[in-house]
Structure 1
């Protein structure tokens, strides 16, 4: 049995609204979208990384997931009981990409619990707008969704997303409550040299979508010895206009200057810097690479660093594998850090 059918239907209606908005928001006669258009403008003014294109991309991905079929199939893997005590779950949300905390928000409400959300200062307008729409569809949600202005208080459990530094703060303040505390993760790609141009172009989507700011963005590639980087650079050339985004351009110029002054050997195509580096997380406008001797050793290395890796783009059989171009299109059961959020919430 799936609990809280009215909540599920509210999310289905939200998915339809988002789908219609993404398809028709530019049509002048559709004044019913003007408020949401204004919200997108405000979100971009608040966070200049949140371009209209990227916000619409994020919204579109959610419109594909918020259907009755998708939601029901996902939740059918869990056992819900109406007698379960309602808990208040604090959500500390990141602000690196648009609506990055929406999956946690969805999980809390569909598990029958209350949301107490602490929004990132970089992303304060999108989720409240969508919450208002949900409440219009299901007025019972009004006292189930709350946004915290100051410090999180009066909660039964917490899901907090941040950096390795903030995770120590989270563990100090939230450690005594049931919690999921997420740290820095990055995504990687394994290339063999046999990829098609189409695959490498799709990899550009994994690298550049949201300017590389998400944990599902590829920030490191593993390549065989004597790999021909010209194939890679030719395939991603269509993303060259990224350099026209001022913050991206500033990061590109800064990182290039640092690398050159440090006399690091780099590869550069005018909008992306490749640097040989063992680290997994590269700065904006940079992509780290490492050579590998054989697939077995590489898979072992990835397993040793599994807590640093969100997903792996490759044609090879590896854990957390994602197809080329698909990292920013997670499914409902693609849980961050591999922790089943619904199971956690149902166990409270």
Structure 2
């Protein structure tokens, strides 16, 4: 059985709606949908990290990807079961970046199952509005979408996204049901010193988009010994205005003070702190780096850290191009676990 065409149609209409809304916003058109505009503003008031620019970026990416060719090409990779044995899938969403749980929501509904959503308190505004739009396009979805404020109950399977700490809680509560439980991951970039200024500037998008709060944001770079950091700083200067966001600036001031008081050696350009550190996870406003001897040994190290890494950005074949981490395709699954395959196997 093929996926439900009416549900696909609803998501395609949503994609077109989001694309047109973002175009109207960029052109300051009087036709801009006041309902979604108000929701974008409310989401920003609710969470200071959700600036209008970053919310619109997220909406634009979903608008681009929710096209009929993209959806059909993605779903053609799977075998859909016949019959009406639908499952209720609980989805516990993170709230670090706008609509971070939307892909799970999309997968559950296009797999023919129903979704029980527990949102993060940091991202409670956008998805209900988009769900209402989908239900207007396809009324049968009203029976398949449910939001809960309390703990999840009466579900057949669960997808839960959180931290290494919350994953222990998730495993305790959800371990007896079929599940996908995601932990902390970070993204890294491998630089050789041969990158163009355009490539290094594009890397800034991977570092600074969403203020570095996403698991697809680059929080660590690997550089050869003797690397010239001045070239990197010059290319990243395009993003200097990020320091005017007060929450980011507070993190920058705090982290810089801590590092200086601890007498750590840092490089600093007024809006980004570079610190040599073995960890993959750097705090907001900081970017960690490590030196490597040769690419072959680095590749082995990255393979050993595979379960901690979401994306690798580099010029090497098979890695993500500079500036592209926050533009995943429908088949780019978090933690490398095929969510659709999991759902179709329930």
Q: When the two structures are superposed, what TM-score results if normalisation uses the length of structure 2? A: 0.98
Q: Secondary structure at the match of 1:96?
A: coil
Query: Quick one: distance in 2 between partners of 1:259 and 1:316?
Result: 33
Q: Aligned-residue CA RMSD in angstroms?
A: 0.9
Does 1:63 pair with 2:63?
yes
Counterpart of 2:210? 210
Q: Which residue of 2 aligns with 1:326?
A: 324
> Which SS does the other structure have where 1:250 is aligned?
helix
Matches within 5 A, 1:238-317: 238-317=238-317
- The reply on whether 1:335 has 2:323 as its aligned counterpart is no
2: CA distance, partners of 1:29 / 1:296: 55
2 CA distance for matches of 1:46 and 1:11? 26
User: 1-side partners of 2:163 and 2:126: how far apart?
Assistant: 22
Aligned to 1:133: 133
- The corresponding residue for 1:168 is 168
1:274-328 Cα distance to aligned partner (Å, 9 max, x none): 000000000000000000000111000000000000010001245xx10000000
Against the structure 1 CA distance between its residues 28 and 77, is the aligned structure 2 distance closer, same or farther, given a 3 Å change threshold?
closer
Q: For the residues of structure 2 that align with 1:247 and 1:114, how far apart are their CA atoms? A: 37
Across the two proteins, how many residue pairs are aligned to each other?
A: 345
Partner deviation per Cα, 1:83-115 (whole Å, 9 max, x = no partner): 151000000000000000000000000000001
Stretches of structure 1 lacking an aligned partner (at least 5 in a row): none
- SS of the aligned residue for 1:236 comes to helix
- Offset of residue 48 of structure 1: 0.5
For residue 115 of structure 1, what is the aligned residue in structure 2?
A: 115
Between the aligned partners of 2:106 and 2:82, the Cα distance in structure 1 is 18
1:30 aligns with 2:31: yes
Q: Deviation at 1:30?
A: 1.3
1:224, 1:29 → 2: CA distance?
51
